[in-house]
Structure 1
Amino acid sequence: MTPNAGLDDNYAVAFGGKAGFGRSAALILIDFVEAYFDPASPLYAGVEDALASALRIRAAARAAGLPVIWTNVAYHPGGVDGGRFFEKVPALAAFVAGSAMGAWPKGLEPQADEIVLSKQYPSAFFGTSLAATLTARGIDQVILGGLSTSGCVRATCVDAMSHGFRTAVVADACGDRHPDPHKANLFDMNAKYADVVSEGAILAYLSELETAR
């Protein structure tokens, strides 16, 4: 028996459920902005693989006719709309309006029919119209990827579940500046709030949706 066998069994009993996929899905890609890709940025995370995965998923989502929603973070000068979050994390100054760190990285350009939703806090739902937008379109399933896993992805995941959406987090399309919080948060989201899936699994789901169109 492995040292963690008892703990593994406990998790399997307490948190072994699966949400499964819904009938109508949307893809939400969280904060893929230059601050996480530029080595000069205090938020640099070296997450190019996550962006590459997200772009492949986005292509499949568009082929399947899914709404695609991007989020970014944007603050007024001085961060006057950032509240305690802006006070707590000095690096958020990278997202003051006009900063090059808030731009989309090379190779990413939201299309005209894709929604770009600006936020000031970790969750894409907090203080935004996201829940109403999804509900009005009859969406019952959200697919999440983004940066960072332990921050804005996790916050959005918890709020998505709390708003009643089936939630899938694509592990390959998420990234963090350190592997330990990345892995720990994927584990915990999968246990409690979402189904954490691979890029391959979500591409297969999107292929089924495309076939059914």
Structure 2
Amino acid sequence: MTDTLEQNYEKAGYHAQQSWGTRPALVLVDFAQAYFDPEAPLFGGEGCAAARDHAITLAEAARAVGVPVIFTEVKYQPGGGDGGAFYAKVPALSCFDAGRDTQRLVDGLRVEPGDLMITKQYPSAFFGTSLAATLQFHQIDTLIIGGLTTSGCVRATCIDSISSGFVTLIAHQACGDRATGPHEANLFDMSAKYADLVGTDDAVAYMKSCAAT
């Protein structure tokens, strides 16, 4: 193959822009203390810290214009009895055992009245949860997704979002990972096939525009 990657993807029509809807919701995936505790095996460093700051901005902007704010958390019975093969595969998931400080929502983000917290045991916010039914009931057509980690639960949620019929936007500045390689590679791939990437300022402007219609 003599084409560059960009030429190859252009021929396939990847990275095509979607038509965004008029009823968005903001989904913030797994901003758990585990990614911010230097002693925890899931510590994510500066990439996760920067994502949290952008998530705070997005959550405040969404609430200000009446866009639903949905958080997700991973929570297991102590010992992972409800964690199945995922818990067995990744020992560090014990950070999300109920009652552990590493399981809680990180400081700076909080579930406010009117927000929703979705509890899950697997990577996608949709798998085994009521998220899709809740969004459909509220006639949501577009999801703005940020969270941790880009290569893990954000990606899984992104794929299930478009598979469930939602226009999917990835708020890339509000996504973080423990290394730039998997972070950038997964943003690229999600942009190519499943979602549009959107910066924080543009996501805020989009939410405001929807509130004005």
Question: If the TM-score is normalised by the length of the shorter chain, which range does it land in?
Answer: over 0.9
Counterpart residue number, 2:119 = 118
> Aligned to 2:4, what secondary structure does the other structure show?
helix
Counterpart residue number, 1:45 = 44
Gaps of 5+ in 2: none
Distance of 2:4 and 2:177 partners within structure 1: 29
> Aligned to 2:70, what secondary structure does the other structure show?
strand
Q: Deviations over 1:187-207 (max 9, x none)?
A: 000000010111122122122
Q: What's the TM-score, normalizing by structure 2?
A: 0.95
Aligned partner letter, 1:161: I
Aligned partner letter, 1:98: G
**1:1-213 correspondence runs (5 A):** 6-14=4-12, 15-46=14-45, 47-212=48-213
Tell me how large the CA RMSD over aligned residues is: 1.2
Q: What's the TM-score, normalizing by structure 1?
A: 0.95
Does structure 2 retain, via aligned residues, the 8 Å contact 1:160–1:167? yes
Aligned partner letter, 1:52: D
Gaps of 5+ in 1: none
Q: What fraction of aligned residue pairs are identical, expressed as a percent? A: 50
Does structure 2 retain, via aligned residues, the 8 Å contact 1:73–1:119? yes
Distance of 1:32 and 1:143 partners within structure 2: 15
